Homo-oligomer: A and B are copies of this chain.
Amino acid sequence: MSLLVVGSVAFDALETPYGKVDRTLGGAATYFSLAASFFSPVKLVGIVGEDFTVREEAAFRGRRIDLAGLERAPGKTFFWAGRYSPDLNDRTTLATELNVFAGFRPKLPPSYQHCPFLFLANIDPMLQRSVLEQVRGRPKLIALDTMNYWIERTPRELRETLRRVHLLMINDQETRQLASEHNLVRAARLIFALGPRALVVKRGEYGAWLLTPDSVFAVPGFPLREVRDPTGAGDSFAGGFMGYLASVGRTHEHALRRAMVYGSVLGSFAVERFGVERLAGLTRREIEARARDFLRLTSFRL
């Protein structure tokens, strides 16, 4: 089944202890689409400027990524620059230039309006809602990502949008902040009361949790020998997660658990190289091999 993502397409400048790049393709919708396209066709909604050329578009070409919803606007593409701490656990934003993104008003082409799987990447909750209002039919799964900025600045708008969402996918700090509760199990209960019936808590190198009112599933972070650039890990996770679900067209517990594993697989690959480099060279065969590695990593018998 088809999968729609709305979010940023950007240029990133990245600095980690392992290297530095001045300008590389980035943005949540970029990582998401590349990761998800291994599993299912993706329809991308976003905006880029005149500096986004055929060279950048090439990253999406040859994949099942529909760019009909990628608007071209006069001006420059969203730009973000960041530097990571030596242990890669913290990052400092050095520059955020919204550019054309400041005027982004998502518009769904007619061919996008019947998407059963929707991922609202981290953007203004009002824009996330405007996408939902353009969707026809009853989507099977609406998932949403957000961040501290929206939790703090637009709490009312975020809650209004959350009421219409099935699954919330955020990190542990955002979970605590949104629920005003440090304990994640209790925080999840409070979040279910806001609308979502499932919560995915991304915990970086420590893995991820899937919580529903009836169950908890935990997948550990993959023990990687090399981590070069954490940028896009969460969005790649989301892409693997949603891409897998769209490919099977189901959202029952077993499918969600498998989606967590495929999300973890894509997230773990993304951080091995700078920017989208690793995803760009990835194969489905490698994805399946690492999914089996996750099974070996976590399996035990009582």
Q: Does A149 contact B (CB under 8 A)?
A: no
Q: Which residue from chain B places its CB closest to the CB of A218 in the assembled complex? A: B220
Considering only residues 219-237 of chain A, those with a C-beta below 8 Å from chain B are: 219-221, 223-227
Chain A contact residues, majority secondary structure: mixed
Is A203 an interface residue when CB atoms closer than 8 A count as contact? yes
Size category of the A interface is: 35 or more
* Distance to closest chain B CB from A263 (angstroms): 12
Asked if A57 is at the interface of the complex by the 8 Å CB criterion, the answer is no
* In the complex, A291 has a CB within 8 A of chain B: yes
A284 on the interface (CB 8 Å rule)?
A: no
A residues with CB within 8 A of B: 86-87, 182-186, 203, 206-207, 209, 211, 215-221, 223-227, 254, 257-258, 260-261, 291-292, 295-302
Known: A216-B297, A292-B302. 10 other contacts (CB 8 A): A86-B182, A203-B206, A206-B206, A207-B218, A207-B220, A216-B223, A217-B300, A218-B298, A257-B301, A298-B300
